Structure 1
Amino acid sequence: MLNTMLGNYFPILLFILVGLAIGVLSMLAGWLLAPNKPDAEKLSPYECGFGAFEDARMKFDVRYYLIAILFILFDLEIAFLFPWAVVLKEIGWFGFVAMLVFLGLLVVGFIYEWVKGALEWD
C-alpha cells in the first residue's frame, strides 16, 4: 500500500525535479556562456537612462503602500468572482447571498477608507 501511494506521487516529484533542473541548467549556461567584461559604466547605478540624483534609500509615502494593498485586495476579489460566476447555477441562492455579503463587506471597507481620507493625495 505504501509503495502504491508513493507511486502516485512520483509524477509530481518528477515534474518538480525536471523544472528545477531546467531552471538550474539555464542559469548555469547563461553564467558560463555569457561574456563577462565589467567596466565602470556597467557597474554604475542606473536610473531611467541617467545617473541617480539622490540616495536610492529614500523614504516612500505610506499612501503608495495603501494603494498597493487596496489593489491586491480588489485583485483577489476578482479572483473569487470568476469561479463563483462559473458555478453560480450549482450553488444557488446561498452562494449568491454569500457573494453579496462578501462584496458588501468590501464596499463598506472601501467607503470607510474613502471617508477617513486615506485615499487623498493632498
Structure 2
Amino acid sequence: MVDLIEYLPILLFLGVALVLSSAFVFLPMIAARFTGAHQPTPEKLTEYECGFPAFEDSRSQFDVRFYLVAILFIIFDLEAAFLFPWAVSVFDLGWAAWISMMIFIGELGLGLAYAWKVGALDWE
C-alpha cells in the first residue's frame, strides 16, 4: 500500500499553481475596479489595432487560402522543432538518423512544391 504522504509534493504543487493562476486572473480585475479602468469612455472604445473602423462584419468568412498558409506555417514550424534536436544528436545516432531526416525533409519539400503548383501560396 502506498503511503499518502508521497503525494504531498504533488498536492503542494497543484495548490501553489491554483493560487497563482487565481491571482493572475482576479488581481487585475480588482486593480481595474480601484483604478477606474472598468468604466468605458468613448476614447477607450475606439479602434486601437489598426486605427480605423472595420470595413465589414466581424463574423464574415475568411478566404480558404488564409487557412492554407496558416497550415503550411505550422507544418514548417514543426519541421524546425524536429530539425534542431536532430542536428544536435545526428553524429551520435548514425546514418539511419541522417537518412530518415532526409526522407522527412524530402516529403516536406514535395508537399511545398505541390502547394506551390496548385496555387495555395498565390494571394490575390
Query: Which category of TM-score, normalised to the shorter sequence, fits these structures?
Result: 0.7 to 0.9
Counterpart position of 1:77: 79
TM-score (normalizing by structure 2) = 0.79
Structure 1 residue 82, shift from structure 2 partner: 0.6
DSSP 3-state at the match of 1:37 = coil
Match of 1:115, as an amino acid? K
Pair 1:55-2:57 in alignment: yes
RMSD: 2.4
- Would the aligned equivalents of 2:69 and 2:120 in 1 still touch at CA under 8 Å? no
Quote the Cα distance in structure 2 between the aligned partners of 1:3 and 1:26. 34
Match of 1:110, as an amino acid? L
- Which structure has the higher relative contact order (CA within 8 Å, separation 6+)? 2
Structure 1 residue 21, shift from structure 2 partner: 1.4
Runs of 5+ consecutive residues of structure 2 not aligned to the other structure: none
Counterpart position of 1:37: 39
Greater helix fraction, Structure 1 or Structure 2 = 1
Percent identical pairs in the alignment equals: 50
Q: 1:47 to 1:93 in 2, by over 3 A?
A: closer
Structure 1 residue 12, shift from structure 2 partner: 4.5
List per-residue Cα deviations over 1:34-84 (Å, max 9, x = no partner): 122234554566652333333111221111111110000000000000110
Deviates more, 1:40-49 or 1:11-20: 40-49
Match of 2:69, as an amino acid? I
Structure 1's consecutive aligned runs of 4 or more residues displaced over 2 angstroms after TM superposition are: 1-4, 9-17, 38-54
TM-score (normalizing by structure 1) = 0.80
